[in-house]
Amino acid sequence: MGALRDFVADMLESEGAVIEPVEPDGLEVLAPEPLRATMRWPEYVRLGFGATLPAGAMPIGLEGDWLDRFGALLSEHGRFAERQLVVADNVPAPNDPERLLDRALDLPNAVWRLRDAKPAWTRCLLLAFRYTATSDEKRDGLIWLGFNQGTGAILDGDILGRLRTLLANEDWHAPEPDTRRGADAAWDATMLAARLQPLVEHHVRRDLEPFLNAMRRRLDRDRGRIHEYHDDLRRTAQMKLAALASASGEKVEADRKRETIRIAAIEREYAAKLDDLRHNYALRVSVNWTQGLTLFAPVHRYDVLIKRRKGERAMRIDWHPAVRMIEPPPCDWGLGIGRTRLVCDDHLHLTDPDGQAPCLSCNKAWCRACHSAACPRCGRAA
């Protein structure tokens, strides 16, 4: 329970409490009045976190309502923060930027040219979302998303994982005023929401795929078992009914009516059992934002000129010395996770390959960033 004790100690100290460690695995706490009211403690309390408690200690664990109390104490504190990433001066910039960009940029229908390269500061946004999927079983998970607000790139996969690992092992540095002024402006809420929604859905679906596959197997198993049971009952009743087809008489007629009613009852029960299965296996997924971090990071910025037919546009892409990786190119339509981009003819939008796919109705390729609602030729909805 050492991690829980350290977490509680840091949190109580931030609320103005006086903390003194005691053995084995405990804390002595002198709590101010607001803290006492929230946690329902006396002014002096001794807390224990291990299997063996200090004398007179109150046991603290993950069970009971302790997590709810600590959550009430935290409230909105710590959900969003700003931090400056400090990188050693001895990390050199890539000595062959064009070769680096050639590996980073995959533009099948356009060409590019490097115009400038210089050190810069950028503003990255890292967000954590917690999802809960409930069906016949329950699954919880946490996903992290990252954006470079200076270039519009998605920070995903290895680059995001390395950044998070680095942040977990480095000292915290508040952003300096010059760094804040040198970084690009933050996105507005509308732009951020538009970028977040498809990415959150993609990552949650990907994380839940094993859970969904297991759920489908259980559903198929239960549905097959129910079908087999009721099919046997129905077949038996139909065989009895068929045996009575050539006979006559009052008793035979009564038996025929009874078997007909039995078949109808079996079919109603089978339909009801299937409805129960649908209700039991119905999937409900909720996603909630839990934490965010604005990270001011030093980068080596490349200004790139994209050329498509007679048009051209400028684009920025950053190499991150902290993790020695270059980010994927920005994306005007699509998830923007991979490195392949197609450039449209009209406004030179950079899109995922699906963003310029042919229309399913008229077979004309069109840019979803230019026309997000429908095909401009035939009007088929996107």
pLDDT value at residue 377: 85
Give the pLDDT band of residue 283 (cuts 50, 70, 90): very high
Output 31 or 154, whichever has higher pLDDT.
154
* Residue 6 located in a structural domain: yes
pLDDT value at residue 144: 95
Residue 278 and residue 157 share a domain: no
Residue 35 and residue 9 share a domain: yes
pLDDT value at residue 330: 94
Residues 6+ apart with CB under 8 A from 131: 140, 141, 142, 143, 204, 207, 208, 285, 286, 287, 288
pTM of the model: 0.79
Residues 177-202 have a mean pLDDT of: 92
Residues 157-172 have a mean pLDDT of: 91
Give the pLDDT band of residue 240 (cuts 50, 70, 90): confident
Of 29, 61, 77, the position where a domain reaches its end is: 77
Q: Is the pLDDT of residue 231 over 70?
A: yes
Question: What CA–CA distance (Å, rounded) separates 84 from 294?
Answer: 8
Residue 149 and residue 125 share a domain: yes
* Residue 102 located in a structural domain: yes
- Number of compact structural domains in the chain: 3
**pLDDT tens for residues 33-58?**
888 888 888 888 888 887 777 888 88
pLDDT value at residue 250: 81
CB-neighbour burial class of residue 301 (10 A; exposed 0-12, middle 13-18, buried 19+): middle
* Residue 364 located in a structural domain: no
For 266, the domain range is 216-284
Residue 167 and residue 43 share a domain: no
* Residue 28 located in a structural domain: yes
Question: What CA–CA distance (Å, rounded) separates 248 from 268?
Answer: 28
Specify whether the CB–CB gap between 306 and 107 falls below 8 A: yes
Determine phi and psi for 200, rounding to 5 degrees: -60, -45
pLDDT value at residue 256: 87
* Residue 369 located in a structural domain: no
Segments in the chain forming alpha helices (H): 2-14, 33-39, 66-74, 97-104, 158-169, 177-182, 189-243, 250-281
Averaged confidence pLDDT in the chain: 89
Give the pLDDT band of residue 6 (cuts 50, 70, 90): confident
Give the pLDDT band of residue 9 (cuts 50, 70, 90): confident
Give the pLDDT band of residue 1 (cuts 50, 70, 90): low
Residue 156 and residue 11 share a domain: no
Residue 324 and residue 268 share a domain: no
Percentage of residues in the chain having pLDDT higher than 70: 99
Percentage of residues in the chain having pLDDT higher than 90: 59
Residues 262-285 have a mean pLDDT of: 94
* Residue 142 located in a structural domain: yes
pLDDT value at residue 66: 74
Give the pLDDT band of residue 5 (cuts 50, 70, 90): confident
**pLDDT tens for residues 72-122?**
777 777 788 999 998 877 788 899 999 999 999 999 999 999 999 999 999
pLDDT value at residue 122: 96
* Residue 223 located in a structural domain: yes
**pLDDT tens for residues 297-331?**
999 999 999 999 889 999 999 999 999 999 999 99
* Residue 351 located in a structural domain: no
Residues 353-372 have a mean pLDDT of: 90
